[in-house]
Amino acid sequence: MDIILASQSPRRLFLLEAAGLNVTVRPSFIDESPLQGESALMMAERLCKLKAQACDAADMTPVIAADTLVAVGVDAGGEALGQPRDLDEAKSMIRKLSGNKHQVHTAVCVRLGEVYRTQTVTTDVNFRSISEAEIEIYVQHNDILDKAGAYAIQGGASGFITGIKGSLDNVIGLPVQTTLDLIAQVKKAQLQGEA
């Protein structure tokens, strides 16, 4: 099946191709600034919809857009950690995650013509306490500037994790089964003339 991925993420591309989809990459570039009082969950859902809307696509090819954010301070509603701007911000993010539980929210929006379906998947992740020396080594030896929360579960940060509850591919950047379900939903809705 042909799909359009409205993202430059090599991890999302890998996951979709591994699921047997024929992927055309056509990233959407939108303003990803948070809104006043917006939680990480609300922000991820808003951004994925905007990315789907902004992507130029033919009506008969499903567009997949996603946004992944890490939320720390889950009990307080979750401070959103997106992609760090630089290594200093990356270190700050890892310090916030150190010794704490956080949530990874990936909101997925699939668009087919004017039909949209969106769903968010949340995974709980626990980090052990991480020393300053470990943080320095980690940011110097890992490609982290394009990753929410400044870490990749499939990379050097795997040694920080003491527990995970929920979908692993969600933490990588795209809950694949959820995405496939959404594709089926938009196709069915379009056939039935729904919006």
- Rounded to whole angstroms, how far apart are CA atoms 173 and 188? 25
Known catalytic residue at 124: no
Q: At what angle do helices 10-18 and 176-191 cross, to 10 degrees?
A: 70
Residue type, 16: L
Q: Which residues lie below 8 Å from residue 134, measured CB to CB, with a gap of 6+?
A: none
Query: Per the residue annotation, which of 59, 67, 86, 146 is the catalytic one?
Result: 67
Q: Where are the beta strands (DSSP E) in the chain?
A: 2-5, 22-25, 63-72, 79-81, 101-112, 115-127, 161-165
The catalytic site residues sit at 67
